[in-house]
Structure 1
């Protein structure tokens, strides 16, 4: 099994030296209220770090806890225990797991982005407005955000005739590309990607992967889930394998993805 040594964060004080994100001892359980009230464990003490300009891809079989981990970092899910240390642009260390909701919302708008295969379509909001608003939230003035949004939409292949339309009328693949454009405009310090190219045809998939690859130049820390071996090999600087809610291995993509002893579920 392939492993690498990572910097150690003090579980009680902040992220590892140089890291943007340090997850320590993270646990998450779900209670099945609609069935019989039993508790099902999803994460069982996960530790990982992501540094500036690093792309860490989560791998493992279905049910390993990959998407759950992303949602805990984004605070869509509340954690059971553990710490999610984030180093802000001012250098302050905050524990996302313990922050008040208002402070989490502020981080989401400005410093932490999340892109999934689904776009939450906003009524009466145009495609261009959705993307430009993400740029404004990250500190761009409106004119610069408008120009950057137009450039991002061109990059992901959204026809200009669609920019003034409400996103609710777009196809699934178009919504996914708008989501990518909004997630990468004025790139955040930390970007979470959950199957961001799953609904795309080969040409648009290639364009989106090009866009994600360039995030390394901006210093954005990326934590992602892909069920696509080619995408992981192209984008990831490190792969973390989850199994049964625990970290089983971490290392370079060329080592991890070819280790027959690891439970992987990726397609080429």
Structure 2
């Protein structure tokens, strides 16, 4: 099966100018991800897990290494060297990211957030409106909340909205940073249902998890990270 992501010797460090320190986050991370695979990444807080996802998404620029991604638009592209314009296109059309936090324009409603995400994929307004209601129903975002601003939502409601907005686009590559961190059992099951649906549709996923039971039921392979380096991968499925 063809690789969709090929990370070679990824190294990222942060400079603390006020302390004249160079803090290494990850070192020589190498991983190949096949199309349709779901890779789980585990490790203690501060071990470098989020740095890997943010480097793929372009939030962080890496010092060394390559992140080759097989784009449907650009073909093979090195995300470590991609331009801002290229990354903006990929985020809109191909690569999704779910974090524990929801960062949005302050006067955008929950309904508008999801609808705009679908419209970015080239769908009609009619389909966008229909899909918006469908996924907000699935994640139990109440009808009384849909025209409200997410700043007023609880932590769990914000996370469910964040997941809905990313999943409704059906990205080719989906990055999940603790997608169930503040969710109750029923909400986790709803996330699991949609992740399984995306897997069937061919979405490739990389996810960071502390909830190992949830992860073990989904991922094909687990990588454990310690002190910024991967241990040997564990085959799951």
Q: Same fold (TM over 0.5)?
A: yes
The one-character-per-residue Cα deviations of 1:29-64 (angstroms, maximum 9, x if unpaired) are 111123x12101111110112222211000122222
1:29 pairs with 2:6: no
1:49 aligns with 2:36: no
In 1: Cα distance, 2:202 partner to 2:147 partner: 32
Q: Matched residues in 2 for 1:135 and 1:183: separation?
A: 9
What's the CA shift for 1:246?
1.4
| Partner SS, residue 43 of structure 1 | strand
Give, in whole Å, the separation in 2 of the partners of 1:84 and 1:29. 16
Is this contact kept in 2: 1:155–1:211, CA < 8 A?
no
Structure 1: 5+ residue stretches without partners: 1-16, 255-268
Aligned 1:1-268 pairs, distance under 5 A: 18-34=2-18, 36-90=19-73, 92-253=75-236
Aligned-residue offset at 1:186: 2.7
Q: Tell whether the 8 Å contact from 1:173 to 1:200 is kept in structure 2 after alignment.
A: yes
Unpaired runs of 5+ residues, structure 2, are: none
Q: CA deviation at 1:104?
A: 0.6
Residue 239 (structure 1) shift: 0.6
- CA–CA separation in structure 2 for the residues paired with 1:22 and 1:157: 37
Size of the alignment, in residue pairs? 237
Q: TM-score, normalised by structure 1?
A: 0.85
Deviations 1:196-230 (A, max 9, x none): 11111111121112212221111111000010111
Q: From the superposition, tell whether residues 91 and 217 of structure 1 become closer, same or farther in structure 2 (CA, over 3 Å).
A: farther
- The TM-score, its normalising length taken from structure 2, stands at 0.95
Q: What is the alpha-carbon root mean square deviation over aligned residues?
A: 1.4
Shift of 1:90: 4.0
Q: For residues 230-265 of structure 1, what are the alpha-carbon distances to aligned partners after superposition, in whole Å with 9 as ceiling and x for unaligned?
A: 1111111111111121121112238xxxxxxxxxxx
